[in-house]
């Protein structure tokens, strides 16, 4: 099947309209008519080669929602007409210890990324900036009616990336959670942590987005450019989710944690970070990382977000604005996620 898409021809050229081939619908496959695709910061890093060489042309996009158009003969969990979503992975070995534990994102054989990955049939995956995609049914999520469809797309990457560590490290009533950075990831971290019942603080470079932060559900908002923030809030938080992909002062942020507190990086700076181990041992603190979530947990996240009416704050764009949107994402000029209307791709 030949479908309309937007692809990067090389790491240095803008994305342009193209036609790509989708595989035939196999027995366990789902054909999805894509409605919306979010623009994730990692799309930009990946197509520009920041995270290593990739095959080109490359169609990015791993925040996909759409309607099931066809199912293979063995598919039982999805039906034609269903609202579905696809996130950052489209396959995994399903047999290793991590897959068996529902952590397919940490598959020991390597999860298959939604774009620029080698699928288990040997083909190169192409992502969601397209009108259709064919995905193994086991990696297709159900998107409940309770979430606006365009606002649901960013949940498939940004939503699960923040939901998973918030749940794992116990964000909830009586817990003080800080979110570092109020961007695509951060704004969803605030909404989800608030819905989980935690006391939420935003730590942002400036107070520019304070009004937004409080509207999204934060109880407090502090500027990290003010050194006083780090003395006033010392030892305060049970959990800090760092969504910033630029280097931060790790020791200063660890100092904000209470005894047994954890700082979790979900943003991924390219450069190594320095850290003084005394920042950890002085209060039995942990420094951790987390990457998206497994399929089962991603479904839990979508169900949770539907129940609490959580979607991303989105700016809907047509396909011809993708390159402008990339520039604006890099300039942090988006509140808080660009979503492509797939109807404009054809």
Q: Which residues bind Zn ion (CB under 5 A)?
A: 40, 42, 92-93, 96, 99, 107, 157
How far apart (Å, rounded) are the C-alpha atoms in residues 267 and 203?
14
CB of 294 to Zn ion, least distance (A): 11
How far apart (Å, rounded) are the C-alpha atoms in residues 221 and 16?
40
CB of 58 to Zn ion, least distance (A): 14
User: Which of 3, 37 has the CB closer to Zn ion?
Assistant: 37
User: Which of 118, 252 has the CB closer to Zn ion?
Assistant: 118
User: Which of 214, 291 has the CB closer to Zn ion?
Assistant: 291
DSSP string, 264-329: EE-S--SS-----THHHHTTT-EEEE--S--HHHHHHHHHHHHHTT----EEEE-GGGHHHHHHHH
**197 C-beta neighbours (distance < 10 Å), count:** 12
Expressed in percent and rounded to 5, the helix, strand and coil fractions of the chain are 30, 25, 45
CB of 239 to Zn ion, least distance (A): 22
CB of 234 to Zn ion, least distance (A): 33
How far apart (Å, rounded) are the C-alpha atoms in residues 190 and 212?
11
How far apart (Å, rounded) are the C-alpha atoms in residues 209 and 221?
9
- β-partners of residue 6 are 17
Helix axes 158-168 and 295-307, enclosed angle (nearest 10): 90
User: Which of 110, 282 has the CB closer to Zn ion?
Assistant: 110
CB of 176 to Zn ion, least distance (A): 27
CB of 90 to Zn ion, least distance (A): 14
- β-partners of residue 112 are 91
How far apart (Å, rounded) are the C-alpha atoms in residues 169 and 340?
33
How far apart (Å, rounded) are the C-alpha atoms in residues 71 and 84?
12
User: Which of 256, 325 has the CB closer to Zn ion?
Assistant: 325
- Are β-strands 286-289 and 112-113 bridged in parallel, bridged antiparallel, or unpaired? unpaired
User: Which of 107, 233 has the CB closer to Zn ion?
Assistant: 107
CB of 92 to Zn ion, least distance (A): 5
User: What is the three-class DSSP state of 31?
Assistant: strand
Are 119 and 90 in contact by the 8 Å Cβ rule? The answer is: yes
User: Which of 96, 124 has the CB closer to Zn ion?
Assistant: 96
DSSP string, 108-133: TT--EESSSSB-TTSPBP--SSBSEE
User: Which of 79, 101 has the CB closer to Zn ion?
Assistant: 101
CB of 277 to Zn ion, least distance (A): 31
CB of 308 to Zn ion, least distance (A): 22
User: Which of 61, 66 has the CB closer to Zn ion?
Assistant: 61
The enclosing H or E element of 42 equals helix 41-47
């Amino acid at each position: 099947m030949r479908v309309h898409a937007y692809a990067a021809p090389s790491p240095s050229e803008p994305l342009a309209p193209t036609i790509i081939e989708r595989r035939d619908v196999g027995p366990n496959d789902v054909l999805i008519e894509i409605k919306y695709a979010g623009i994730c910061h990692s799309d930009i890093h990946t197509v520009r080669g920041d995270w290593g060489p990739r095959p080109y042309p490359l169609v990015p996009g791993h925040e996909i929602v759409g309607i099931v158009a066809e199912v293979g003969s063995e598919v039982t969990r999805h039906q034609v007409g269903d609202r579905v979503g696809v996130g950052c992975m489209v396959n995994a070995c399903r047999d290793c210890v991590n897959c068996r534990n529902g952590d397919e994102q940490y598959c020991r054989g390597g999860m298959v990324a939604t774009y620029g990955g080698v699928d288990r049939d040997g083909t190169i995956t192409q992502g969601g900036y397209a009108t259709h995609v064919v995905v193994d049914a086991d990696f297709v999520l159900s998107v409940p009616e309770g979430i606006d469809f365009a606002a649901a797309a960013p949940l498939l990457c940004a939503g699960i990336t923040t939901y998973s560590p918030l749940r794992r490290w116990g964000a909830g009533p009586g817990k003080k959670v800080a979110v570092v950075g109020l961007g695509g990831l951060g704004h969803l971290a605030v909404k989800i942590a608030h819905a989980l019942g935690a006391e939420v603080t935003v730590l942002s470079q400036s107070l520019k987005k304070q009004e937004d932060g409080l509207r999204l559900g934060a109880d407090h908002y502090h500027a990290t450019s003010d050194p006083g923030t780090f003395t006033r809030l010392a030892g305060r938080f049970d959990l800090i989710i760092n969504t910033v992909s630029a280097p931060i002062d790790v020791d200063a942020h660890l100092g904000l944690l209470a005894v047994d507190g954890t700082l979790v990086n979900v943003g991924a700076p390219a450069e190594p970070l320095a850290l003084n181990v005394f920042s950890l041992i002085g209060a039995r603190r942990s420094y951790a990382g987390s990457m998206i979530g497994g399929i089962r947990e991603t479904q839990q996240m979508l169900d949770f977000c539907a129940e609490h009416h959580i979607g991303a704050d989105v700016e809907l764009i047509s396909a011809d604005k993708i390159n402008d949107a990339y520039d604006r994402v890099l300039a942090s000029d988006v509140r808080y996620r660009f979503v492509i209307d797939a109807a404009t791709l054809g």
